[in-house]
Amino acid sequence: MDQLPAASIAPDVHQGYANHLASLIYTQTVELIEGKSTNAALIYLMILLIPLYGAYGVYQYRKSYIDLPYVGILPGPFGSWRAGYRYLQNSADVVWEGYQKYAAQGKAFVISTPKRWIVFITDPDQIAEIAMVADNKIGFYEALNEKNHHDSVAERTLGDYINTYHVDVIKSQLTPRMASILPEIRQEGNVAWKDTLKLGPGWTNVEIWKVVTQVVSRSANRCFVGLPLCRNQELLDIFRDYAIRTNEVVYMVDLAPKVFQPLLEWVLLKRHRLPQRAQKILNPVFEERKRMRERLGPERWEAEKPNDAITWIIDAALKKDKHQQTNEQMSWRLIWLNFAAIHTTSMSTLHILYDIAANPEYMEPLREEIISTMDKYGGYTKEALTNMVKLDSCLRESQRWNSVVSIVISKITMCDYTFKTGKIPLRLPKGTFLTAPATATHWSEEIYGADAHIWKGFRFSDMREKITNPEESSKLQAAATSKEYLAFSHGKHACTGRFFAIYQLKMLLIYCLLRFDMRLPLDRNGKRPDNRYILGRRSADTSGSLEFRERKEWNELKTRWGEFDEEED
């Protein structure tokens, strides 16, 4: 089983963000020389202003001093500023250092980042408090905008009329309709596995990230846009590339001085043509669907309308102002749904595949549970997926060990705030940026026991076996959140798409486990690729590979429930 030494939990970082910036600068230089880009001039201007920016940062640090323990401050001149760049390259180590020192006391601590001081809340009760407190006291969207530049990025995409009703579409349409959309997502995922994973006789080495992004994107977009558009490779590539570009922009803009942020956003976001290319494909689809709605009339439309995100977005937009009803605006909603759904689910899929390949003793018990549960519930049903407790446990454990974000519930105090809970009284001044250390919490021996530093796939299913109350048992499901399990954040701003993501992950894994044998390349000696850390985010190694071969048992299993033979062979 995977294990990290308790003294140094975070793996070595082989590609910090600084290296990524260097690579980006090099690429932009080449493109500038070849006449393909003008972005390099802006980047060089920023580099020339780094000393000035550093001096301004020191001033900001001194101005915003908070009376709490400070972690990771380096000795010598500009120690806090240099500590910020240590956090940039290896945030997990810095946070774990503070957590080990202060979590047992329930004491908060402060870390220097390249742009701001961040207060890390360690007491679970105080974590629950910030997750549920009113936004006018501790603001969620204000922190989201400061850290991720949500409003400015949205304005440069959705325009001046920012309205995030596509988030409500997930809550009101996607999650409640899960049972009805599962068959199509399942089918598309199965077909995508077959189309993408080309195997020869025996074991075949596969660049797994390319396969995963294709399978996740196609299966999700079967629900979002339906056939045949979910197989339009140009559109899928645009969705993927836009998510990657936007994440890069968020990081670069956040590191830049505020005076340069609007210009940087415009250069890196507004000028690239990915959204316009997507709209050329999507606008006619929305136009045709609106004509269908008019042709059918209200009653027939309600009875016969397609069950996909195009329909949901049209229905939601028609309740808004006319600006929201344009094809361009509605196309943007689909781009943003893909941005939210594809990258994080793909990364979670890559993590669980690495985890299971590194712990092959789990494969047969998982297959046995999948087969017996599908026999009991009549195939690939929502009830069957819900009752695959061991598979669910592996997903929750993989998220505990490898959640996409290592810090969660990032907020800003909107007033001087005194906590009502916690072992130690805590009062934070207005304007304090605070967060919860998800990864450190998940590695805590006080919470998860002496084996917290070991990947145990059946950790949560073993715990659920001892619980007789179904309601209490459900609190340990993969999509459930708590003050001690923060993979999807917690509280009223927890990830709205987590239920969809977990069902999608289960369906993709079922097909993979039943059809294929899987292992790490032999030269890895059973050790999965190390994770990478960029600020508060964790990434699996997307350059890694896995080896696959088809199982002989597949010939019998693929028709056992009448579920796997659609379009496939």
Instruction: Tell whether 512 is in a known binding site.
Output: no
Angle formed by the axes of helices 309-317 and 274-304, to 10°?
90
> 3-class secondary structure for 31-86?
HHHCCCCCHHHHHHHHHHCHHHHHHHHHHHHHHCCCCCCEECCCCCCCHHHHHHHH
Residue 534's Cβ-side half-sphere holds a number of Cα atoms within 13 Å equal to: 18
Containing 411, the helix (H) or strand (E) segment is: strand 408-413
Q: Rounded CA gap, 154 and 212, in Å?
A: 27
The answer to whether the CB of 511 falls within 8 A of the CB of 189 is yes
φ and ψ at residue 410, rounded to 5 degrees: -70, 125
Contact in structure between 305 and 311 (CB atoms under 8 Å): yes
Rounded to an integer, what distance in angstroms lies between the CA atom of residue 124 and that of residue 326? 45
Q: Give the largest Cα separation in the chain, rounded.
A: 73
What is the C-alpha separation between 72 and 70, in angstroms, rounded? Answer: 7
CA distances from 239 to 211, 234, 243, 268, 326 (A): 15, 9, 6, 16, 20
Say if CB 535 and CB 248 are below 8 A apart: no
User: What tokens appear for 149 in the block?
Assistant: 């530049």
Specify whether the CB–CB gap between 167 and 444 falls below 8 A.
no
Residue ranges for the known binding site are 495
Residue ranges for the known binding site for heme are 495
